[in-house]
Structure formats: C-alpha cells, structure tokens
Amino acid sequence: MYEVEGSLWLASLGHPRNARHFLLLGHDEYLEVIASDWKWKPGQAVL
C-alpha cells in the first residue's frame, strides 16, 4: 500500500479536507482510494 503524493485526483476534487490518496497494489489489479486515514493491525487477515 502506498500513499500518492502530489495527487492529481485530489487536486481535481479541490483537495477535500483531510483527504489522502492511497494505492493498493495486487498481483493482477490495483485499487485507488481517497480516505481521511487507514488502519491495519499485524496479523489481520486480508480478504
């Protein structure tokens, strides 16, 4: 999981308050997310 710095997507939305652009890379696909934060616990299952 990466955080996109200088996100053009966020810029096009007018930089919503506290919004961050995250990129989750998979084997064959990826997912882009705009969120205010994220949390993960070691050992937590990834579905």
Q: Which domain holds residue 27?
A: 2-35
At residue 46, the pLDDT reads 63
Determine, yes or no, domain membership for 7. Answer: yes
CA separation for the pair 44, 21 (Å, rounded): 22
State how many domains the chain has: 1
Determine, yes or no, domain membership for 25. Answer: yes
Q: pTM score > 0.75 for this model?
A: no
Determine, yes or no, domain membership for 27. Answer: yes
pLDDT digits (tens, 9 = 90+) for 24-45: 999 899 999 999 887 777 776 6
Determine, yes or no, domain membership for 14. Answer: yes
3-class DSSP state for residue 40?
coil
Determine, yes or no, domain membership for 21. Answer: yes
Pairing status of strand 2-3 against strand 30-35: unpaired
Determine, yes or no, domain membership for 8. Answer: yes
Which residues have a Cβ under 8 Å from the Cβ of 5 and sit 6 or more positions away?
none
Determine, yes or no, domain membership for 41. Answer: no
By the 8 A CB rule, do 29 and 38 touch? no
